[in-house]
Amino acid sequence: MCGIIGYIGGKQAAPVLIDGLKRMEYRGYDSAGIALINDDGKVDLRKRKGRVSVMASEIEADRFPAHMGIGHTRWATHGGVTDANAHPHTSSCGRFIMVHNGIIENYENMRSFLAGKGYTFSSETDSEALVNLISYHYDERTVDGAADRFMESVRKALLHVEGTYGIAVISPLYPNEIIVARKGSPLLIGIGNGERLVASDVSGFAGRAQNVIYLEDGQLACVKKDFCDIITNGKQEVECVIKEIDWELETAELGSYRHFMQKEIFEQRKAIENAIRGRISDDMSTAILSGLNMSANELRQIDRILFCACGTAWHACLVAEYLIEKYARIPVEVEYASEFRYSNPPLDKNTLVFVISQSGETIDTLEALREAKRKGFKTLAITNVVGSTIARESDGGLYQYSGKEVGVASTKAFTSQIVICLLIALYFGRMRDLSFSDGREIVEAIKSLPDLIDETLKQAPKVEQIAKKYAKYPDFLFLGRLEEYPIALEGALKLKEISYIHAEGYPAAEMKHGPIALVCPECPTVIFANSGEIFHKVISNAKEIGARNGPVIMITDSPESIDEGLADDIIAIPKSHSSVRTVLSTIPIQMLAYYIAVARGCDVDKPRNLAKSVTVE
């Protein structure tokens, strides 16, 4: 989703801004631009639809002497993907230049008010209304005092905004400052040596800042090259809380891999090891989850758990439901974060609310968390990004430590989330009915996972062959039962996301109630058939598909039990304890989606229309 960058300091700003924008490309965007203010107050502004490289190729960044400026990658919301709609936007008087992430819901009212005052617009965006409203407050002198008249104009304008924003504003009248503000969309201030950066995500700082200030909702900052002042939108002064950036956590290089998604699939052993590290008790029978910040007594009072998330993280919640209900016998409900916020479901007083978000910035998930907090519930979070808004605002939680995930399609973060949910199931289970020996069995299963993941990854060449065979097919079905039903959903989502093939996931037996109508030689079905009590039921479903000439791709831990001719293609996964099997079942569907997308020539890491971190509702 939109990326914001800003620089003020002693270096040439343009190369820093372009580098920062490139580092944030993974967030997903469709156009890019920068605006620079030279020391003499002259403004240079370039913006283009398409990749950052398109915009950058049209300018020789080194030629621009300016030492301050702002930049943006836009993910279109209001108005099509055009040069005119790309950011930065300038007020019609030319004195204020702004980049914006978020949605201004009342922009039409703003525009008609401003049009009545003679302001003009050159884009269809909501953002352009705001930069003109800033200009209006500046000109109308609704602001008092001369020294901070620029910041006051921004503050006054923001008081009229309904919606969300992360903004950075510059003006040739104030060549030594960048005004930033946030409500709902992330905004960080990076502190370098005699220079300051602003960005919507740490990666935009590209190693140039050693420390960071996370702006909170409702705060504005005036950023200068060697200090910054922060106030609330109610004009209260705010003390800067400076945090050190752990660049080891924030850096990801492609190395010998072709795509980040491929790299991240192959990093799952390490990601799972990190998720488990330090979280197993010495007697190997339960988990240690001190990050939950709740006493054993408080945890015993929990009668129900609600999970909220979006996208792939929502699928992790569904796996959590199976695991926690099975091992801890606590009823679990799963809601789409976006639905929870507005559906206002009744919740028992002893409900614990968990949100899961790789980025920790997804606005719907963040708002679900805030809604639960507002109602007085204890809210916990599972996130991968240290210091993210969700991590900061939850009462406690568990970091994934998966390492930076760059590919838009989430892979290692998903399997890490599953493992953390299994640790939660184990922990709650051992506080209730799960015996010491059952606990130890699960711990052993968890500890065996890294090796089993390596074994599963050895199937890559086979999956690649299968992918080439089916890459041109227009529709896919994914079927699984019990905890593999969410993995079927995830398989369908992965394929849609990066290869643009229509795909649907269903509980295997439910297939007869509609989706079977799709079965034909052009619609392959990926079906999970793993050992256990429902193995034979799933085999029957596979036969029903075969009888209708639908190609069957079977993912199974029991290839030896599959009759000749039942499946067109088999991907074998190692045998494992049922508590950890979803992790292994997931890997083939990730690889299948990846290799199909590659075979179709798709831009795997930057799929069309998608964003890594969705910061608008």
Among residues 73, 164, 400, 613, the one that binds ligand G6P under rule CB under 6 A = 613
Write down the least CB distance from residue 395 to ligand G6P, Å: 18
- Which residues have a Cβ under 8 Å from the Cβ of 256 and sit 6 or more positions away? none
Contacts with ligand G6P, 390-429, as mask; x by CB under 6 A: ------------------xxx-------------------
At residue 475, what are phi and psi to the nearest 5 degrees?
Answer: -140, 150
Q: What are phi and psi of 528, to 5 degrees?
A: -90, 120
Stretch that binds ligand G6P, among 168-176, 235-243, 353-361, 538-546 (CB under 6 A): 353-361
For the bound state, the minimum distance from the C-beta of residue 284 to ligand G6P, rounded and expressed in Å, comes to: 31
130 within 8 A of 107, measured Cβ to Cβ: yes
SS3 at position 384: coil
**How many CB atoms are located within 10 Å of the residue 482 CB?**
20
CB 250 within 8 A of CB 392: no
Residue whose pair of structure tokens reads 């529709």 in the numeric block: 475
Active site residue 2: yes
| Active-site option among 2, 310, 317, 523 | 2
Q: Binding-site residue total for ligand G6P (CB under 6 A)? A: 16
Q: Point out the residue whose Cβ comes nearest to ligand G6P.
A: 311
Task: Report the nearest approach of ligand G6P to the CB of residue 21 (Å).
Answer: 19
Told to check if 368 binds ligand G6P by CB under 6 A, we report: no
Phi, psi dihedrals of residue 487, rounded to the nearest 5°: -75, -30
Out of 132, 153, 274, 312, the only residue in the binding site for ligand G6P (CB under 6 A) is: 312
- Taking CB under 6 A as the criterion, the residue among 123, 127, 338, 362 binding ligand G6P is 362
| Best CA proximity match to 170, nearest among 316, 45, 51 | 45
**Is residue 237 exposed (0-12), middle (13-18) or buried (19+ Cβ within 10 Å)?**
exposed
Identity of the residue, 317 or 598, whose beta carbon is nearer to ligand G6P in the bound complex: 317
Q: Kindly tell me which of 357 and 585 has the beta carbon lying closer to ligand G6P.
A: 357
* CA quadruple 205, 208, 212, 218: dihedral sign: negative
Q: Measured between alpha carbons, how far is 353 from 124 in angstroms, rounded to an integer?
A: 39
Cβ closest to ligand G6P, residue 43 vs residue 313: 313
**3-state SS class at 137:** helix
Token pair for residue 361?
């910035």
Q: For ligand G6P, which residue of 359, 400, 456, 576 counts as binding (CB under 6 A)?
A: 359
Candidates 12, 127, 358, 499: give the one binding ligand G6P (CB under 6 A).
358
Cβ 29 to ligand G6P shortest distance, Å: 13
Query: In the beta sheet, which residues pair with residue 290?
Result: none
- For the bound state, the minimum distance from the C-beta of residue 213 to ligand G6P, rounded and expressed in Å, comes to 22
> What's the closest the beta carbon of residue 406 comes to ligand G6P, in angstroms?
11
Active site (annotated) includes residue 447: no
β partners of residue 31: 49, 74
List residues with catalytic annotation: 2, 612
Q: Which residues are at the interface with ligand G6P (CB under 6 A)?
A: 310-313, 357-359, 362, 365, 408-410, 610, 612-614
